[in-house]
Amino acid sequence: MNNTSPNSQPRPLELWGGLECTVNRVQDDYFSQLDRNGHALRNCDIKRFASLGIRAIRYPILWERTAPEGLDKADWSWPDERLPALRDAGVTPIAGLIHHGSGPRDTSLLDPAFPERLADYAGAVAARYPWLEYYTPVNEPCTTARFAGLYGVWYPHARDDKSFIQALLIQCRAVVLCMREIRKVNPNAKLVQTDDLGKTYSTPEMAEMAAFYNERRWLAWDLLCGMVGPEHALWKYLIRSGASEADLLWFRDNTCPPDIIGVNYYVTSERWLDHRPERYAQHHRGLADGIPCADIEASRALATPTAGIGPLLTEIWDRYRLPLAITEAHIDANREDQLRWLLEIWEAAQTSRANGVDLRAVTVWALLGSFDWNSLVTQDKGYYEPGPFDVRSPLPRPTALAAMMRELSAGQPLSHPVLRGQGWWRRPGRFLCTPVATPAALTSISADGHRLLGAGVAPILITGATGTLGRAFARVCQKRNLAYKLLSRHDMDIADPACVERALAHYKPWALINTSGYVRVDDAENEVERCMRENTHGASILAEACARLGVHLTTFSSDLVFDGRKDSPYVESDPLTPLGVYGRSKAESEAAVLAQHPGALVVRTSAFFGPWDKHNFVTQALNALERGETFVAANDMTVSPTYVPDLVHTCLDLAIDRECGVWHLNNGGSVTWFELARLAAEKAGIDAAPLAPQASSTLGMLAARPAYSVLHSERGVLLPTLENALERYIELRGVDDPEYEELAKTAETRVPAAGGNRQLQETPPEAVHGGF
């Protein structure tokens, strides 16, 4: 945790971890991240955290959880178990006492007694754990005051400047009093004070408002450092908003400068204000001091992206000259962009240190991911953002971020090929409006293009150039800025060993995704040799070659490896009992692939539908029903459909994570084909009257098929529900441009305003960033 060694030489940049632990209140409901990510009941996570090589962790000892009914009834059993385990694992806890919370039910951020009550709790924590050295009594006081006092998002749901300032002063006063009580027990205790560090840019017409936001972002740190007096740029605003001179000057008499300033930075932290709201979607529009304007992430609007966190670190260092740490680095994005975001933050930190900034560490936030931050944790809809560990598996599953963290902490070269590419926040397709010419103030700090994909980047090879799935992978790789090569059978016949060798030697891929094969289930009964060649023999040849060359392989199997006699969903470990030639070819393919290449990923899936081809069942059903034509569908075969975009995105994430073995991937839900068509029609608002249920035995299918082939995963449920998938499919079905991709996979979300404007007349949006 120290930045100098005994010989006074600077120590390497440290890697820290953070656990999303928010217990926020919305009306009378509490939203607990610790309950949702499972860490509340899982002590074994501490070994997982330590395995990443982190030196410290931002760890919760939250007031609301430990003493919700007062100190006399406090339950210390949870921190009693966890804190010593962290110490024994060699990970220093940075104790958090309030994390976007408002305390027990009988208080709030507007309660004058809040500071003293939290300080009493802080003193009790210090007395019980006198060895604790690092504390964050209140996380992000300025940001929390905005969301609870200015936007009305969290309890007590106020929406005015007076409440914002009152909540800010109460939280900052609480920090001072907490550290006073803590230092009575441990005089060496250190304050790590976090807040969101962003910056607002604007058109000239909005320059005054942008300047106000850029001053307001410092308020919590300024107060703690005793820098707020009549000479402060926002003194008049503070007084006008209800703060008394005595309340403000109290901080000059009771300074509590952070020992480490904690900088939290997100892709949404930098904002663009525009006096032309008509250029933007409705949810970006509002009023700032009565002026119509738009407020949007700078990355989504500016033609030339900002340089990111680097210049902001210089700004905060120049202002305070106090040690810094990046205490939250996280992005809600596809896996490769999560890796690229961490790399950009890490490199900016190293550059800042080389330029004389005393920057101690970078904290990878949300080690266990986070839930529903796309709605500012105001809803319980199950939206999950993975982190270094993905908690959707029975036990947290390490992702590629975990591997990258281990390399960073060990000082090893970063090895993942996908790092050689720009994140979505720097790519041409990032815009949510007509790009705005870069303001002059930004031209000197514009980002370079050193991560544009180009020659020499190891690609992903995708077989099956003429198939729905192969083309879908190519489309998504292009959108995600993943180098790829889509191969036809002419380019590489997977059942020809020499052809496979030549292709792998030529393209030098790091991963191969095999979507080719024989797909005509009925014809397979009479074309056994061809089916086995393309599905089994070819996959085995690929596996052997990929294993020998260290290439990750993803290949696909089917629900038809099961006979349907089970009365509950099939999981990965169920025995294979195919009914027909096609199912047997896939079952034998699975065994051959995993025998040749234990590191391969075999994905079982079923019943594709999606927006990018006209031949899938759902599209054909809706097209026929729209025309008023009768559409026949089996009502005695139960399946678990799969939305192709979800499948492709998830497979790419798993390939980047270098996952292996058999995985079941399908959208949660089970329906007959008839029910699927009816549900899709209902979602699309199409009359389902022409839909005709029929027994499968009358449909002329030559090959036997299981009556029940529903898939479920014992390894992790990674795809959204079927209803959710159908709703998104219907949205894309009406889009004229078939190249359109869901922005939710790359958008970091929508926020209510960098600053939230002094009077932004806007209902808080449904989606915001991923962590504040």
The residue to which tokens 């205490």 are assigned: 327
Q: What is the 3-state secondary structure (H, E, C) of 537-604?
A: HHHHHHHHHHHHHCCEEEEEEEHHHCCCCCCCCECCCCCCCCCCHHHHHHHHHHHHHHHHCCCCEEEE
| H-helix or E-strand spanning residue 58 | strand 56-60
Pick from 300, 540, 544, 316: nearest CA to 434: 300
Amino acid, single-letter form, for residue 409: S
Nearest residue to 512 (alpha-carbon basis) of 562, 565, 550: 550
How many Å apart are CA 450 and CA 331, to the nearest integer?
A: 21
Is 582 annotated in the active site? Answer: yes
Secondary element (H or E) of residue 649:
helix 644-656
Helix (H, G, I), strand (E, B) or coil at 290: coil
Task: Identify the residue whose tokens are 């395995």.
Answer: 51
Residues with Cβ within 8 Å of 9's Cβ and at least 6 positions away in sequence, in order, are: none
Q: Is the dihedral of CA 632, 586, 418, 388 positive or negative?
A: positive
> Rounded distance, CA 22 to CA 35, Å?
10
| E runs forming strands in 100-213 | 134-139, 190-196, 199-202
**Secondary structure (3-state) at 274:** strand
Q: How many CB atoms are closer than 10 A to CB 663?
A: 23
What does the alpha-carbon distance between residue 563 and residue 565 come to, in Å, rounded to a whole number?
Answer: 6
- What is the per-residue burial (b if ≥16 Cβ within 10 Å, else e) of 333-371? bbbbbbbbbbbbbbebbeebbeeebbbbbbbbbbbbbbb
Active-site residue (options: 129, 280, 582, 643): 582
Cα(456)–Cα(454) distance, integer angstroms:
6
Q: How far apart are CA 273 and CA 208, in angstroms?
A: 11
Give the chain's length: 772
- Give me the residue label for tokens 């002059």: 440
Alpha-carbon dihedral 504, 507, 510, 511, rounded to 10 degrees: -70
Cβ-based neighbours of 718, under 8 Å, separated by 6 or more: 390, 392, 650, 654, 665
Among 234, 254, 231, 255, smallest CA distance to 320 is for 255
Contact 732, 289 (CB under 8 A): no
Q: Two tokens at 608?
A: 């594709």
- Work out the angle between the directed axes of helices 468-479 and 644-656 (0-180°, nearest 10): 60
Sign for the pseudo-dihedral over CA of 637, 640, 645, 651: negative
Query: Which residues have a catalytic role annotated?
Result: 582
